[in-house]
């Protein structure tokens, strides 16, 4: 009976352990050098900052940002009000395909309307569809290609307090 009670207490304590650990210890278990993060740390950084962690030393995150954003910074873990880590990067191929197809269909439709509009021209539905498709397909391919080279990060919130 006592061993069952002790085992349940150990399970509960181990489940609560991250809440008991200091912010530094929790952070070191979730964030590693090389991770891409974004954070807010007022008053030093009131706006969201995005960069790559270069080191975690004595409660201070060393973050390398692009030089156009101000270069490397150091922020204390205690000053963080929010922290997110990039867990994945998704290509935007399908989005590019959709945008390219929409633009291609619109331009193809306008071109077909301009070509078939007139008293002498008797275009049938097949002609309009073919002309629209001939324009839409290359635009779809270009959109998919551009979307393939565009990434979107998937962010996960990290508990800092």
Give tens-digit pLDDT for 93-141.
Answer: 999 999 999 999 999 989 888 888 777 777 788 888 888 999 999 999 9
Q: What is d(CA 65, CA 112) in angstroms, rounded to the nearest whole number?
A: 49
One domain for residues 98 and 53: no
Backbone torsions φ then ψ of 83, nearest 5 degrees: -145, 130
Is the pLDDT higher at 20 or at 84?
Answer: 84
One domain for residues 96 and 134: yes
Does the pTM surpass 0.75? The reply is no
One domain for residues 145 and 100: yes
What integer pLDDT is reported at residue 122 of this predicted model? 76
Last-in-domain residue among 49, 80, 111:
80
One domain for residues 126 and 102: yes
Instruction: Name the band, by pLDDT with cuts 50, 70 and 90, for residue 4.
Output: very low
What integer pLDDT is reported at residue 24 of this predicted model? 57
The structure tokens listed for 87 are 């867990």
Mean pLDDT, range 2-21, rounded to an integer: 42
One domain for residues 67 and 108: no
Mean pLDDT, range 11-28, rounded to an integer: 48
- Give me the half-sphere count of Cα atoms (radius 13 Å) on the Cβ side of residue 98: 4
Domain count, the chain: 2
Spatial neighbors of 76 by CB under 8 A, at least 6 apart, are 41, 59, 60, 61
Please check whether residue 111 lies inside any domain of the structure: yes
Cα 11-82-35 angle, rounded to 5 deg: 80
One domain for residues 53 and 95: no
Please check whether residue 9 lies inside any domain of the structure: no
Please check whether residue 1 lies inside any domain of the structure: no
One domain for residues 95 and 136: yes
Please check whether residue 98 lies inside any domain of the structure: yes
Largest CA distance in the chain: 97
Crossing angle of helices 93-116 and 125-148, rounded to 10°: 150
Q: What is d(CA 14, CA 36) in angstroms, rounded to the nearest whole number?
A: 29
Mean pLDDT, range 4-14, rounded to an integer: 42
Domain that holds residue 37: 22-80
One domain for residues 70 and 39: yes
One domain for residues 131 and 101: yes
What integer pLDDT is reported at residue 141 of this predicted model? 95
One domain for residues 73 and 102: no
Please check whether residue 157 lies inside any domain of the structure: no
Instruction: Name the band, by pLDDT with cuts 50, 70 and 90, for residue 23.
Output: low
């Amino acid at each position: 009976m006592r061993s069952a009670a002790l085992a349940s207490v150990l399970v509960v304590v181990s489940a609560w352990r991250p809440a008991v650990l200091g912010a530094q210890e929790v952070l070191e278990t979730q964030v590693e050098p090389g991770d891409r993060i974004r954070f807010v740390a007022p008053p030093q950084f009131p706006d969201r900052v995005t960069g790559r962690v270069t080191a975690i030393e004595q409660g201070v995150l060393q973050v390398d940002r692009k030089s156009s954003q101000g270069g490397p910074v150091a922020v204390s873990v205690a000053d963080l009000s929010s922290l997110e880590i990039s867990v994945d990067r998704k290509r935007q191929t399908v989005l590019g395909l959709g945008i390219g197809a929409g633009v291609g269909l619109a331009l193809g439709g306008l071109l077909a309307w301009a070509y078939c509009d007139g008293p002498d021209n008797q275009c049938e539905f097949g002609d309009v569809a073919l002309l629209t498709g001939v324009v839409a397909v290359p635009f779809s391919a270009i959109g998919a290609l551009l979307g393939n080279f565009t990434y979107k990060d998937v962010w996960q919130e990290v508990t800092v307090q």
